Amino acid sequence: MGQLTLCDAHCHPTDDPNSLDLIPKMQTSKLTLMATRLDDIDLVHSAAQRYPDKVIPAFGYHPWFSHLVYLTEEPPKSSYEHYCKVLTPTPTEEFVNSELPFPASFEEHLKKIKRYLEMHPNAILGEAGLDKAFRLPQKHGDKKLSPYKVDMGHQQEVFKRQLSVAVDLGRPVSVHGVQCQNAVYECIMSHPPPSVCLHSYTGSPQFLQSNWLNKKLRKRQPQVFVSCSVLINIPTQAKMDALAESIPSDRILSESDYHAAGDLIDEYVYQSLSSIASAYKMGIEQAAEAVSQNYSRFVKTSAQQGNIEHNPTLSEADPGV
Binding residues for a divalent metal cation: 10, 12, 127, 176, 199, 257
Which residues make beta-bridge pairs with 11? Answer: 33
Task: List residues forming the annotated binding site.
Answer: 10, 12, 127, 176, 199, 257
Cβ–Cβ under 8 Å, residues 131 and 178:
yes
**226 membership: H or E segment, kind and range:** strand 223-228
Half-sphere exposure at residue 104, Cβ-oriented, CA atoms within 13 angstroms = 15
Query: Which residues, in sequence order, are CB contacts of 212 under 8 Å at separation 6+?
Result: 185, 198, 221, 224
Which residues make beta-bridge pairs with 72? Answer: none
Query: Angle at CA 317, nearest 5°, toward 314 and 321?
Result: 105
**55 membership: H or E segment, kind and range:** strand 55-59
Which residues make beta-bridge pairs with 34? Answer: 58
Q: Which of 104, 98, 116 is nearest to 38 (CA)?
A: 104
